[in-house]
Amino acid sequence: MLIHPKLQPILYGLGVFAVFTILSVALKIITHRVSTDAQYLGIFSNKDLLLGLVVALVLTFTHERKKKLK
């Protein structure tokens, strides 16, 4: 299956964000620590989503740089 080269980093970033979201939800449910300012689905706050976005951007950027070095 061929994916357009400009679409690959976007899909990679969405995958990283999804994994971050799943892990953070699982940890919050397991530890019973839901923040009081949770605005999205009663679990996420704006800080959580911003942190997930930053992690996805950084990992996607470093992944693309590694691909170009090879």
Asked whether residue 24 is domain-assigned, the answer is yes
Residue 6 lies in a domain: no
Number of structural domains (the chain) is 1
Write down the residue that tokens 């976007």 correspond to.
Answer: 10
Question: What Rg, from alpha-carbon coordinates, does the chain have?
Answer: 15
Q: Can you give the pLDDT at residue 69? A: 80
For residue 23, the enclosing domain spans 11-64
Task: Specify if 47 maps to a domain.
Answer: yes
Give the position of tokens 């969405």: 14
pTM of the shown model: 0.78
Confirm whether 35 is domain-assigned: yes
CA separation for the pair 40, 48 (Å, rounded): 10
- pLDDT (mean) for 17-26: 89
* Distance separating alpha carbons of residues 57 and 20, to the nearest angstrom: 12
- Does residue 20 form part of some domain? yes
In a domain, 4, yes or no: no
| pLDDT (0 to 100) of residue 1 | 63
Q: Which residue has the higher pLDDT, 31 or 43?
A: 31
Residue 52 pLDDT greater than 70, yes or no: yes
- CB atoms under 10 Å from CB of 56, counted, come to 20
